[in-house]
């Protein structure tokens, strides 16, 4: 079978690998659509594992069913995830499934940028495979995983109806947060970015105002846009260190700041601890999604609470996966790139 083998962001090669063979409890899925995630192009993280087949926002058709599998059949349309929690450890029992050691060790083979994927038994058993509704396209299904991550983040920060929300960074993650906050009943939603294409995309997604983050006096402009007060909820969707400082300054007293983007190891961001203490800010982070988060994301998409297909700017065949990576890295006039491995 054909795969897109990652060596670095500018070197993703079309190669041949044996089609995976499955064992008891496993599934073989014919990959139909696979989204390029921002984390796929984090070269500092990915290159140490190269060569590797990436891709974890995946949908397809079940091609083979292993012995003992129940609830799934050949031909079922599914979304399947690479990480699943054990549901039994102290972290899972406390609702912190994405801290589970099992979740961080599970994966499917070889990756979503391939014609076929073997889904291990533990992924099948622990909620890592979900049937797609007949009304949902394969492309929309690829958003279940990234939207599930946003769902988890906003659940952790207890997004409330009427809350004022500031989203720093209007890439795909930022746009999903804007749409999700609106679906959950947020009041005023404001965003930032440095790219004019994404600033407009944020407005199209539901932001009331969108500011260029390179403007002088940005924090003052943001607070003015919220009738002179800070924001109840601030979501940081960019790894630029200055955005953390902007978030702390723009948060209202008693507000919450959610760190959503991932910084490179060793990044240190100074901030005024007195202001943090004096304003009573709650600072938290989030990672990944649990099966519950994925199910909620599916329902939001299935019933039209959140529309995502307008985010898709490029659909590429497997041989052009390197172009998809370059489009995602440059982040100029592209938003979501979908790879179609059967083409």
Structural domains of the chain, with CATH: 2-143+308-340 (3.90.180.10), 149-285 (3.40.50.720)
pLDDT at 340: 98
Partners of 119 in beta bridges:
27
Give the phi and the psi of residue 252 in degrees, each rounded to 5.
-75, 170
pLDDT at 332: 85
Q: Are 296 and 151 in contact (CB under 8 A)?
A: yes
> Is pLDDT above 80 for 271?
no
pLDDT at 273: 83
pLDDT at 101: 97
| pTM of the model as a whole | 0.96
pLDDT at 270: 78
Q: Before 265, cis peptide (omega within 30)?
A: no
Q: How confident is the model at residue 45 (pLDDT cuts 50, 70, 90)?
A: confident
Element (H, E) at 6: strand 2-8
- Token code pair at residue 292: 């519950």
Phi/psi region, residue 224 (left: phi>0; alpha: psi -120 to 50; beta: rest), is alpha
pLDDT at 94: 96
Element (H, E) at 313: strand 312-317
> Is pLDDT above 80 for 266?
yes
- Alpha-carbon separation of residue 140 from 21, 37, 56, 151, 164 (angstroms): 28, 14, 14, 16, 28
- From the list 149, 152, 129, the residue with the least C-alpha distance to 60 is 129
pLDDT at 148: 98
Q: Are 160 and 255 in contact (CB under 8 A)?
A: no
> Is pLDDT above 80 for 189?
yes
Q: What is the pLDDT of residues 120-146, one digit of tens each?
A: 999 999 999 999 999 999 999 999 999
> Is pLDDT above 80 for 264?
yes
Report, as an integer, the average pLDDT of 156-161: 96
Partners of 189 in beta bridges:
165
- From the list 112, 129, 146, 127, the residue with the least C-alpha distance to 30 is 112
Report, as an integer, the average pLDDT of 85-107: 96
- Alpha-carbon separation of residue 256 from 9, 161, 224 (angstroms): 34, 15, 19
Q: What is the pLDDT of residues 319-340, one digit of tens each?
A: 999 999 999 998 888 999 999 9
Q: What is the pLDDT of residues 210-247, one digit of tens each?
A: 999 999 999 999 999 999 999 999 999 999 999 999 99
Of 64-73, 92-101, 162-171, 256-265, where does mean pLDDT reach its minimum? Answer: 256-265
Residues 327, 243: Cα–Cα separation, whole Å: 23
pLDDT at 276: 83
**Mean pLDDT, the chain, as a whole number?**
96
pLDDT at 121: 98
- Alpha-carbon separation of residue 336 from 88, 96, 146, 154, 315 (angstroms): 35, 29, 11, 21, 9
Report, as an integer, the average pLDDT of 25-44: 95
Give the number of other Cβ atoms within 10 Å of residue 162's Cβ: 9
| DSSP 8-state class, residue 219 | H
- From the list 165, 135, 131, the residue with the least C-alpha distance to 150 is 165
């Amino acid at each position: 079978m054909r795969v897109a083998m990652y060596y670095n962001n500018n070197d993703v090669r079309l190669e041949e690998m044996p089609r995976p063979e499955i064992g008891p409890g496993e599934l073989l899925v014919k990959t139909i659509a696979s989204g390029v995630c921002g984390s796929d192009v984090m070269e500092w993280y990915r290159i140490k594992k190269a060569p590797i087949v990436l891709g974890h926002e995946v949908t397809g058709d079940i091609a083979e069913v292993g012995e003992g599998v129940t609830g799934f059949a050949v031909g079922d349309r599914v979304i399947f995830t690479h990480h699943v929690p054990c549901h039994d450890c102290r972290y899972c029992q406390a609702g912190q499934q994405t801290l589970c050691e099992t979740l961080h060790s599970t994966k499917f083979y070889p990756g979503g940028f391939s014609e076929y994927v073997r889904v291990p038994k533990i992924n099948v058993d622990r909620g890592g495979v979900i049937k797609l509704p007949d009304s949902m396209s394969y492309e929309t299904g690829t958003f279940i995983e990234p939207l599930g991550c946003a769902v988890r983040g906003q659940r952790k920060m207890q997004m409330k109806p009427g809350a004022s929300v500031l989203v720093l960074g209007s890439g795909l993650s930022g746009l999903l947060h804007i749409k999700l906050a609106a679906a959950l009943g947020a009041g005023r939603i404001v965003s930032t970015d440095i790219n004019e294409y994404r600033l407009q995309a944020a407005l199209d997604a539901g932001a009331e105002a969108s500011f260029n983050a390179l403007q002088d006096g940005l924090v003052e402009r943001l607070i003015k846009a919220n009738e002179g007060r800070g924001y109840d909820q601030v979501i940081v969707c960019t790894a630029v260190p200055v955005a953390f400082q902007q978030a702390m300054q723009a948060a209202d007293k008693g507000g919450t700041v959610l760190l959503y983007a991932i910084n490179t190891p060793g990044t240190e961001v100074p901030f005024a601890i007195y202001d943090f203490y004096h304003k009573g800010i709650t600072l938290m982070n989030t990672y990944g999604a649990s099966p519950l988060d994925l199910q909620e994301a599916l329902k939001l998409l299935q019933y039209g609470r959140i529309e995502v297909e307008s985010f898709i700017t490029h659909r590429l065949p497997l041989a052009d996966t390197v172009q998809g990576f370059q489009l995602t890295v440059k982040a100029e006039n592209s938003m979501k790139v979908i790879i179609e491995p059967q083409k």
